[in-house]
Chain A
Amino acid sequence: MTRLLGIVQKEFIHLRRDALALTLALFVPVAMLFIFGYAINTDVKHIPTVVWDQSGDVEAARLLEAFANSQYFDLKFRVRSFAEVTRFVDRGQAKVGIVIPPDFASRLASRQDPAIQVIVDASDPTVASSAINAASALGQARSLQILAQTIGAGSVRAAPPLDVRVRAWYNPDLLSAFFIVPGLVGALLMQTTVTVMAAAIVRERERGTLEALIVSPIRRWELMLGKIVPNLLVAYGQMTLALAVAHYVFGVPIRGSLVLLYLLSLVFMMGTLGLGIFVSTLSRTIPQALQLSFLTVLPSIYLSGLLFPLEGMPEPAQWLAALLPLTYYLKIIRGIVLKGVGVNHLWMEILPLVLFGAVIFTLSVLRFRKSLD
């Protein structure tokens, strides 16, 4: 016990002396959250818009006013042909084109389907999804208003809803902050635990102090645990900070039990710390360890469903994803944070995570022991 505490104490001194590393460990994730959180903010406003109003009547003008008032659309250009709309969008001068048919007012009056066309440049998915959402919402809001007017005039027949047809020209990819921010917390957790763990062991090897520890009566598990405990504390600190930012800055609701989340995070980190130990057995120097850690984390970032939905990936990629602990952890953290689900809905994720944790950890510790001889 004294020996274990000795290691823990020493690791904390390392952390304290290396203030830069500690600051980085705690604040880089927060900075990342901010960068990612805002970069993926779907609320893009003031999108340059080109309008071809073929009707030129009051109803159409009112609709366009609503588009402008929403602040999502800047009605910058007015044109007189579809070719011109196309040209503005192609050149990128406008991201959205609105086409109002010539018989807009009369169709609305005769309760026919008054379709307007909204063309969205979806090459930038964030702008596109923002425009699509705003346009759809506007269309719905307007048709309700019109319906209310009709009722107010004493008619019992429901008016046809105003149909805003959205055509995405390129394939839009829909991202949402709620979806990505909790996932990011998981990815950051993995990144730090793997890297810090690997670096902490390789540093000892590089300095030659590992040799002295091997000759000492310290047990291997004491050495491992002594390094894991401070690392876990830093990881939890990082996670707490990141969750706070997610909640207070991005308004991500935390609907489920935090205690459960922290407990299951421990299961997840068993596996990632094991990976870190594994990486340390393969590296002779710190730069090697960092590169290898990066290589370990990278597939998880791309394949775990952090950025792209799992369902959209080709089958082999999905099989690979099924082998990554982060895949399961993301489902857990999203489930707890966003849906507020309890442990009874998460068994299918917890079991593989426990299995991975146990296997990776055991293998790594065995490999670590061998690498010492």
Chain B
Amino acid sequence: MTEGLTKRFGHVTAVDHLSLAVREGEVYGFLGPNGSGKTTTLRMLCGILVPTEGRGAVLGYDILRQPEQIKAAIGYMSQRFSLYDDLTTWENLTFYATVYGVSRRERAGRLAQMIRLADLTGQESKLAGQLSGGYRQRLALGCALAHAPRLLFLDEPTAGVDPVSRRNFWAIVRRLADEGITIMVTTHYMDEAEHCDRLGFIYQGRLIVEGPPATIKTTAFRKPVLEVSAPDVRKTADLLERWEAVEEIVRVGDRLRVILGDEALASADLVAWLEGQGVAARAERVPPSVEDLFVSFVDRERKARLREQLRAVGG
């Protein structure tokens, strides 16, 4: 969908030659830490921000020349939910439907469908301001869908919503995808990334890796991830910090999650090394989570950049 998309704000390059393609009918997860360029990319794709460089097309419309067609064809839900608190559920839906030019005749049927889809039955005449977080989130989704778009952009749709509502929300997103709607979703909840068909990682305005979650885990990420338990977790962590084979240590509850830099190493190697330091520990290899992936990719990217800079300086 995009090719060499770049946006600079003054000297700051928010999005740096980004090229990505989202397939029809898939759920594409767009991941990255805050300030990595996710929202800027979305805004360019929505036709509200003009790229400094590069090209892009959304649903066959050129983002430079046909932004109005794009706006009419897509649905957009922002993390702030964009609801009018002093309007009822029904009025919010009606308003967004009219703004998107849904005719009066089509509207009633369309809205009833939205109420069902977003599981808002019984909430129609409540003011949006009185709805709980989960309902607000689904109402915002309903508003974004009021004109039956073929492509849906969700910008951090689950921010600040309780886990149960998040699960419900993802179930609805899945259902929409099954109906053939293409969905591009940004999130920084790594566990949510697993709901996506494909993932794209963006860091400092660059796409650093792309692919289905499972493929990324098995092929792009071969480093062993170990879960380590020991009597004294802190001391163990301090010790492991000094072992050059360790790339990353994260403390999860009373355990350690350790990523080793060398593919050839196994859990036994770690246990043996710790024994050599006088610590008895147990270690078990676990599948890498998206979070592990991300952390390691970011590091790899950072190192690569550093190397690049050094080369440039050294001539």
Contact = CB atoms under 8 A, between A and B. Distances in A.
B78 A6 contact: no
A123 to B, nearest CB: 50
Given A9-B98, A211-B80, A217 B71 contact: yes
Interface in B43-95: 46, 48-49, 68, 71-72, 74, 76, 78, 80-87, 91, 94-95
A6 B95 contact: yes
B103 interface: yes
B292 to A, nearest CB: 33
B81 A218 contact: no
B151 to A, nearest CB: 12
A207 B92 CA distance: 14
Interface string B99-117: 1110110000000000000
B297 interface: no
Interface residues of A, number: 24
Q: Report the contact-size class of chain B (Cβ under 8 Å from the partner).
A: 20 to 34
A2 B103 contact: yes
A212 B98 contact: no
Contact of A5 (B81, B96, B98): B98
A10 B95 contact: yes
A212 B86 contact: no
Contact of B48 (A9, A13, A207, A214): A214
A17 B80 contact: no
B82 A209 contact: yes
Given A13-B87, A207-B85, A212 B96 contact: yes
A215 B98 contact: no
Interface string A1-35: 01101110110011001100000000000000000
Interface string B129-169: 00000000000000100000000000000000000000000
Interface in A213-254: 213-218
A373 B49 contact: yes
Nearest to A208: B80
Contacts of B83: 207, 209
A215 B70 CA distance: 9
B84 A209 contact: yes
Given A207-B85, A208-B82, A215 B96 contact: no
A217 B68 contact: yes
B86 A215 contact: no
Contacts of B85: 207
Q: Which of A7, A9, A17 has the most CB of B within 10 A?
A: A17
Contacts of B103: 2
Output the residue of A13, A215, A217, A218 with the most chain B CB within 10 A. Answer: A215
Closest 9 CB pairs of A and B: A6-B98, A208-B80, A212-B82, A217-B72, A215-B76, A17-B86, A217-B71, A209-B82, A216-B99
Interface of B: 46, 48-49, 68, 71-72, 74, 76, 78, 80-87, 91, 94-96, 98-101, 103-104, 143
18 contacts: A2-B103, A5-B98, A6-B98, A9-B98, A10-B91, A14-B84, A209-B82, A211-B78, A211-B82, A212-B76, A212-B78, A215-B78, A216-B71, A216-B96, A216-B100, A217-B72, A217-B99, A373-B48
